Amino acid sequence: MHDPTPDTGLGSFAAVLAGELPGAWTSTYHPDRGGNNVHHTLTDRVWDMNEVADALAKRTVEHCAVLTRDDGTHLFVADSLGHGEGYLIAAMAPTDVPAEAFRSVREPDGIAVAADPFSAAEDIHYDLLPRYDKALAHVRNNAARLAASPAAEPERVVMTWSGDALVVDKPDRPDVAQALTDYGFAFDAESDAFVLSGDSSARQAASVQAASHRLSELGIGVVLPTRKARPALGTTAVAPPSPPVTSPHRNR
């Protein structure tokens, strides 16, 4: 038989509740430490955007408890808002998944329960845990998909030859445009591109090297196609010889 007058202290309540929930649970009580609490490390993980989140926003948590299931599931237990009897129970978000995995996942909002741990266990089993398990499965699925997705293409700046000049299409990032400008590229409004003059091949090569180094520091790769060789000045490309022409003749 249930104790008709259960101890309603938060620590005792949580300990009894852990024994009544389905599965293997343990309870850890986090007492008031005279204002030197670090309970925010626990409340920051409360996975709720409803009643429990509202209560935590309105007051400082002086003491609390955490219930832990053998599979790593965590539930947060705190006093109810106000002076009435009862407690607030909320799921705690996992910490081993990236923040992006929570996108579009509905929070498994917590519940208020009576000070009786036996009835509270039923409310958690039939109300909170199904929502929590569903949300957790969604988050785990998102995390797996993120881990399996291919890495994003690295950003690159492509330099192309236009005669003796090097041309770079105007980048979207201002810091990339500044790097090009700092090392000799001039913006040409007509072509909407940055142009590095080829008046001095030595100076042009030094500018490309310096700009490439700076862009690398910004996480930007540089693609510079090999320049096609041109005939030396004062020479003319030799045309390939024409195939010999055989004169027609008659057989005698």
Q: What pLDDT score does 82 carry? A: 67
What is the pLDDT at residue 62?
87
User: Beta 221-223 vs 156-158: how paired, if at all?
Assistant: parallel
User: Consecutive 10-residue runs of the chain (252 residues): their mean pLDDT?
Assistant: 53 96 95 74 91 88 93 93 82 92 92 95 96 95 86 80 92 93 94 92 91 90 73 46 44 41
Burial degree of 69 (CB within 10 A; 0-12, 13-18, 19+): middle
Place of tokens 């881990």: 147
| pLDDT for residue 154 | 73
Q: Can you say how many angstroms the Cα of residue 208 is from the centroid of all Cα atoms in its chain?
A: 34
**pLDDT score, position 246:** 43
Q: How far is CA 69 from the centre of its chain?
A: 28
Q: What pLDDT shows up at residue 146?
A: 87
Among residues 55, 61, 13, 59, the alpha carbon closest in space to that of 33 is found at 61
pLDDT of residue 227: 67
pTM above 0.85, yes or no: no
User: Following CA atoms 68, 37, 58, 98 in sequence, which dihedral angle do they give, to the nearest 10 degrees?
Assistant: -50
pLDDT score at 235: 44
- C-alpha 6/C-alpha 16 separation (Å) is 9
